A and B are shown apart, each in its own frame.
Chain A
Amino acid sequence: MNYGMISAAAEGLTYGDTIFGLVTFIALVLLVGKFAWGPVTKMMAKRQDKITSDLDYADQSRDEAEKLLAQRKSELQNTQADAVKIINTAKANGETQGKKIVADAHAEAADLKTKAEADIAQAKQDALNSARDQVADLSVAIASKIIGKELTAGDQQALIDDYIKGLGD
């Protein structure tokens, strides 16, 4: 039996092979499609979706991060300005308060001084007054003592002089 188209035609086509080939191939396509192609291509499509969505998500995250960074930067600048302001006001407050305290202290001291001076003057005056009174009393007492005793005019004169001299001190 020769092999080839012509000999096959001569003996009638063995179209069993055609039928068998068709059935085999169609069955193979269906089986491969159902058991291998389907799951794997589905997974490939899923992976593609995941990559796309991951890329989108990454873009989105980066945008957000940039926005956040800009916000942080401006906030930081604001904070620095605020800090400078706070320090300046604190310094100014401290200065004015210090000045006020010093001024108050000065004023009080002056007050106290004038008061003390007044007190001293008063005390001096009082002392002088009381001394004058005592002198008067003493002179009365001396006078009465002298009057009680027999004195010569000379003695009396000497006594008075002596006394007055003693008073002058």
Chain B
Amino acid sequence: MNDKYPYLVVGPVRFNLANDIPMLVSAIIVFAVVFYLSRKPKLRPDGKQNLLEWVIDFTNGLVNGEMPGKQGGFFQLFAFTMFLFIFVMNQLGLFIDVNINGVSWFHSPTASPLITMTLASTVLFLAHYWGVENKGFAGYAKRYLNPMNLLEEFTNFMTLSLRLYGNIFAGEILITLIRNMALSGVVPILSFPVGFVFEMVWMGFSVFIGSIQAYIFVILSTVYTSHQVVSE
């Protein structure tokens, strides 16, 4: 993966457009779909409302088991949005890959560690904020008298962000590799059908991985947050 990326420099801040454009597109897709599905909610739900309620029930089920109490309500929304957002970002790069003159403009944003770390730090910030809110600062800090817990916070952050990044990044690399193999084999007539089959199989698997990783990210977020919120 020696792709070049388009950068937008605004003063001291650099934006990697190959991350930001698909992220914006994912957010727009998530919002558009959810907005469409939630129009005119009825007491007796029809098809599209059922679909949305099914997803809501799914993420609520993840949250409710771990986190009772007043934070659960907002965290349900948080988990729901996080799940759909990561899910769409994971899948988007599989199907759309824009590369102009060796510059990649569009890939899965979650294949970049910066984005996954941003998401993970959002989760952990929320977790620590609620930890202080629920137990008071003394109660919150008491947990870190044991240095192992301090270490645990660091590993939580790393595992949460790097697991997602690693899975999606590896998936994208392999897709690119298989595509390159198919197009630039020694005997193109042989390599193309083989590459086509491999690519198809791997894409299917990547869809599965993308879904699983979105699910894992949300459930781990819930577990880490509930550690802070629920007093032992």
In the assembled complex, the Cα of A29 lies from the Cα of B30 at a distance in Å of: 10
Q: Contact: B27 with A24, CB < 8 Å? A: yes
Q: Contact: A1 with B19, CB < 8 Å? A: no
Give 1 or 0 for each of B1-34: 1 = CB within 8 Å of chain A CB.
Answer: 1111101101001111001100110010011001
Shortest C-beta distance, B9 to chain A (Å), equals 8
Number of interface residues of B (CB under 8 A): 47
Shortest C-beta distance, A3 to chain B (Å), equals 5
Chain B residues whose CB sits within 8 angstroms of the CB of A37 once the complex forms? 34, 38, 56, 77, 80-81
Q: Contact: A28 with B10, CB < 8 Å? A: no
Give 1 or 0 for each of B67-104: 1 = CB within 8 Å of chain A CB.
Answer: 00000000011101110010000000000000000000
Interface size class, chain A: 35 or more
Q: Contact: B113 with A5, CB < 8 Å? A: yes
- Per the 8 Å Cβ criterion, residues 5-26 of A in contact with B are 5, 8, 12-22, 24-25
The stretch that binds B, out of A39-47, A97-105, A112-120, A140-148, is A39-47
Tell me if A123 counts as interface (CB < 8 A to partner B). Answer: no
Chain B residues whose CB sits within 8 angstroms of the CB of A1 once the complex forms? 4-5
Could you write out 30 A-B pairs with CB less than 8 Å apart?
A: A1-B4, A4-B1, A4-B113, A13-B114, A14-B16, A15-B114, A16-B8, A16-B16, A20-B15, A20-B24, A24-B23, A25-B122, A27-B27, A28-B81, A29-B77, A29-B81, A32-B80, A35-B31, A36-B34, A37-B38, A37-B56, A37-B77, A37-B80, A39-B38, A39-B41, A40-B56, A41-B56, A43-B42, A46-B43, A50-B43
A→B interface (CB under 8 Å):
1-5, 8, 12-22, 24-25, 27-29, 31-33, 35-37, 39-44, 46-47, 50
